[in-house]
Amino acid sequence: MDGGQTTKRKLKVATASLAGCFGCHMSLLDIDERLVDLLELVELDRSPLTDLKQIGECDLGLVEGGIGNVENLEVLREFRRHCKLLVAVGACAVNGGIPAMRNNFALRDCLEEAFIDGVGVHNPGVPNDRELPLLLNQVHPIHEIVKVDYFLPGCPPSADAIWTFLTELLEGKPISLPYTQLHYD
DSSP string, 26-74: HHHHTTTTHHHHHHHHEEE-SBTTTTB-S---EEEEEEESBEEEHHHHH
In terms of pTM, does the model score above 0.85?
A: yes
Dihedrals phi, psi of 19, to nearest 5 degrees = -80, 95
Q: What was the pLDDT predicted at 52?
A: 87
Cβ neighbours, 10 Å, residue 92: 30
pLDDT digits (tens, 9 = 90+) for 108-154: 999 999 999 999 999 999 999 999 999 999 999 999 999 999 999 99
- pLDDT recorded at residue 7: 61
User: Which portions of the chain are predicted below pLDDT 50?
Assistant: 1-2
Contact status, residue 31 vs residue 62, Cβ threshold 8 Å: no
